[in-house]
Copies of this chain bind each other. A is one copy, B any other.
Amino acid sequence: MPTPPRASLAQIIDAGREIVEVSGPAGLTMQAVAERVGVRAPSLYKKVADRDALLRAVAGATLDDLSARLESTGDDLAALARVYRAFAHEHPEAFRLMSAVPMPVEVLRRSADPLLRACTRIVGEADALDAARFAVAWVTGFLQMELAGAFRLGGDVDGAFEYGVRRLAVSLRS
């Protein structure tokens, strides 16, 4: 007798995202996810290959959100950097997970697009990819170190970020 599904893939991923944000990736157990969507753990395997695939899906959904946010931000490099940082502060655990998980190329491409456009405007087409890598490396490195607590040697971290935004602009313009 056919039975309608009780937990959609979208619900499972959403549950995963909530758990990751409150308990970190280690807290995302199949049982915790199952409980949240009102089902038993084995049922999750109808929608998800295994825990790792669910983690990748959570990371992918997070990157999609970030991409949408960046897309609506425009062409300004400094603005993009600040939106990026705001997102990381809102979802620190998901942000760190995102950086640890390998993404499909098309997802990467979409997320890179706004930055690539901003860089093309500044350095031209030929250097745009190198420049975008320079910028994205700086901003993700900064945020990962900030979130990992690596910036504890004094000084003002907000100030250091704005210093970086300025230096970034300077370096691409010369």
**Chain A interface residues (CB < 8 Å from chain B):** 96, 99-103, 105, 108-109, 112, 127, 129-131, 133-134, 136-142, 144-145, 148-155, 159-160, 163-164, 167-168, 170-172, 174
Most buried by B among A99, A140, A171: A171
Contact of A141 among B130, B131, B144 (CB under 8 A): B144
How many copies the complex holds: the figure is 2
Give, as a whole number of angstroms, the nearest-CB distance from A59 to chain B: 11
Contact of A137 among B145, B159, B174 (CB under 8 A): B145
Give, as a whole number of angstroms, the nearest-CB distance from A127 to chain B: 7
List 4 extra interface pairs beyond A105-B152, A134-B160, A134-B167, CB under 8 A: A102-B149, A133-B142, A137-B139, A140-B141
A141 in contact with B148 (CB, 8 Å): no
A136 in contact with B141 (CB, 8 Å): yes
When distances are taken between beta carbons in the complex, the residues of chain B under 8 Å from A102 are 148-149
C-alpha gap A160/B131 in the complex (Å): 8
User: A interface, by DSSP: helix, strand, loop or mixed?
Assistant: helix
Closest 6 CB pairs of A and B: A141-B141, A171-B171, A137-B142, A137-B141, A130-B163, A138-B138
C-alpha gap A153/B130 in the complex (Å): 11
When distances are taken between beta carbons in the complex, the residues of chain B under 8 Å from A130 are 155, 159-160, 163-164
B133 in contact with A164 (CB, 8 Å): yes
B174 in contact with A170 (CB, 8 Å): yes
